[in-house]
A and B are shown apart, each in its own frame.
Chain A
Amino acid sequence: MFKRPLLIFCALALGMALAVFALQSSLGSRMKMVIGSAFLPLFGLSSTLDAGAEKAAEKIVPKSVLQKELNDLRLENEQLRILGLQAETLFQENNRLRTRLEWQKNIPWKRRLARVIGRDPSNWWKMIHIDLGSRDGLTNNLPVITSDGLVGRLGEVGLSRSQVILIGDPNCHVSVLLEDSREQGAIAPDRINLRDPSIVEMGYLSRNSILKPDQKVVTSGMGSVFPAGIPVGRVLDFQTMSHGLFTEARIKLAVSTSSLEEVWVLLP
Chain B
Amino acid sequence: MRAVHPSLLLLFTYLAVFLECRVEWVRNLIGVQIDILPPIIVYASLTTNFATVGLLAFSGGLLFDSLSANPLGVSILPLLLTGLVLLWFRDLLLRDQPYARNMLGLFASVAVPAMTLIIMLSLGKGPLLGWGTLWVFAVLGGGGFLLTPLVFSVFDRLRNMFQYQVIETPGSFREDREIKRSRR
- B3 within 8 A of partner (CB): no
Contact string, B71-85, partner A, CB cutoff 8 A, digits 1/0? 111101100100010
Distance A219 CA – B83 CA, assembled complex (angstroms) = 47
Q: Are A16 and B18 in contact (CB under 8 A)?
A: no
Q: Are A192 and B64 in contact (CB under 8 A)?
A: no
Q: Which of A113-121, A179-187, A244-252 contacts B (4 or more CB under 8 A)?
A: A113-121
Interface-centre pick from B21, B69, B117, B132 (highest chain A CB count, 10 A): B69
- A17 within 8 A of partner (CB): yes
B69 to chain A, nearest CB (A): 4
Contact string, A1-25, partner B, CB cutoff 8 A, digits 1/0? 0000110011011101100110101
Distance A31 CA – B135 CA, assembled complex (angstroms) = 32
Q: Are B127 and A170 in contact (CB under 8 A)?
A: yes
Q: Are A193 and B130 in contact (CB under 8 A)?
A: yes
Q: Are A118 and B57 in contact (CB under 8 A)?
A: no
Distance A258 CA – B35 CA, assembled complex (angstroms) = 18
- A231 within 8 A of partner (CB): no
| Known contacts A6-B50, A20-B62: A122-B33 contact under CB 8 Å | yes
Q: Are A169 and B128 in contact (CB under 8 A)?
A: yes
Q: Are B128 and A28 in contact (CB under 8 A)?
A: no
Q: Which of B24-32, B97-105, B170-178 contacts A (4 or more CB under 8 A)?
A: B24-32
- A109 within 8 A of partner (CB): no
Distance A126 CA – B179 CA, assembled complex (angstroms) = 78
- A103 within 8 A of partner (CB): no
| Known contacts A35-B63, A121-B17, A191-B129: A17-B73 contact under CB 8 Å | yes
Chain A residues whose CB sits within 8 angstroms of the CB of B116 once the complex forms: 122, 124
Q: A192: which of B65, B66, B120, B132 is its contact (CB, 8 Å)?
A: B132
- A42 within 8 A of partner (CB): yes
- B51 within 8 A of partner (CB): yes
Chain B residues whose CB sits within 8 angstroms of the CB of A191 once the complex forms: 128-130, 132
- B136 within 8 A of partner (CB): yes
Interface of B is mostly: helix
- B12 within 8 A of partner (CB): no
Distance A28 CA – B20 CA, assembled complex (angstroms) = 22
Q: Are A155 and B135 in contact (CB under 8 A)?
A: no
Q: B50: which of A9, A120, A121, A124 is its contact (CB, 8 Å)?
A: A9
- B38 within 8 A of partner (CB): no
Q: Are A121 and B129 in contact (CB under 8 A)?
A: no
Q: Which residue of B lies closest to A17 (CB)?
A: B76
Chain B residues whose CB sits within 8 angstroms of the CB of A163 once the complex forms: 69
Q: Are A190 and B126 in contact (CB under 8 A)?
A: yes
Chain A residues whose CB sits within 8 angstroms of the CB of B155 once the complex forms: none
| Known contacts A122-B68, A258-B28: A13-B80 contact under CB 8 Å | yes
| Known contacts A6-B50, A38-B14, A194-B31: A31-B72 contact under CB 8 Å | yes
In the A-B complex, the 4 residue pairs with the closest CB atoms: A124-B127, A20-B73, A121-B20, A125-B69
Q: Please give 4 more A-B residue pairs, beta carbons under 8 A apart, in addition to A17-B76, A120-B67, A124-B116.
A: A32-B66, A39-B17, A165-B69, A192-B128
> What would 14 A/B residue contacts be, using CB atoms closer than 8 Å?
A16-B76, A20-B72, A25-B71, A32-B66, A35-B63, A36-B67, A38-B63, A122-B33, A122-B70, A122-B113, A125-B68, A129-B67, A191-B129, A258-B24
